[in-house]
Amino acid sequence: MELKNLSIGAEELKILEKINEEAIPDSERNSLSDLLSSGATVTGIYSAGEPVGFLVTRVYKNISYLAYLAIRSDLRSKGLGGISLRKLLETYPDKKVVVEFEAETLENEADDFVKRRKNFYMRNGFAETGWFTFYDDTEFEIGCANNEFDIDEFNEFTEYLSSIISDHIPEPYRKA
């Protein structure tokens, strides 16, 4: 398995965009070209030389924010996502790698997919931070790897992000 950073116009983007459409809900999805144009890093995940998924990250000061991780549907649950996450963490050993995943709520507590996603991140080097966000009609839990989560740094990151993506202004909170 190999990771490779992509640029605007890369041939693989056509294949990865199909994975984007199948893996990321409409309300959360952005095109990979738009993400690249806005300064995000799109990293292709390759197996046997073939693009089978992608990671999208944004680096700001001491934070590397994992915005998306997607693997082709027929290859999920085969270890590619976990290997990709470990390689991502190796890429940013001195940064707080932060991810938001759908939080378990009363409305979705029976949803096995929500539980499996959280467990996936916990198994692969992330820890709960006790912080949550809410946007796009969904509550998210914030996870962090590599270093202890710092809410002030995350707030600074979200201010930076809102200068790029005007409709993305999450306000972190703790649950009582």
> What confidence tens digit (pLDDT) does each residue in 122-152 have?
999 999 999 999 887 888 999 999 889 999 9
In whole angstroms, give the CA distance from residue 131 to residue 15.
35
Rounded Cα distance between 125 and 39, Å, is 26
Q: What is the mean pLDDT of residues 40-48?
A: 96
pLDDT for 111: 66
Mean local confidence (pLDDT), 91-120: 84
User: Token pair for residue 101?
Assistant: 């995943």
In tens, the pLDDT along 58-93 reads: 999 999 999 999 999 999 989 999 999 999 999 999
Q: Are 36 and 42 in contact (CB under 8 A)?
A: yes
Is the CB of residue 26 less than 8 Å from the CB of residue 55? no
* Residue carrying structure tokens 């294949």: 15
Please determine, for residue 176, whether its predicted confidence score (pLDDT) is greater than 80: no
Which secondary-structure segment (H or E) carries 85? helix 80-91
The 10 Å Cβ neighbour count of residue 132 is 18
User: What pLDDT is attached to residue 135?
Assistant: 81
Angle at 176 (CA atoms; ends 137, 120), nearest 5 degrees: 60
- pTM assigned to the model: 0.91
Domains of the chain: 2-164 (3.40.630.30)
- Please give the share of the chain, as a percent, with pLDDT higher than 70: 96
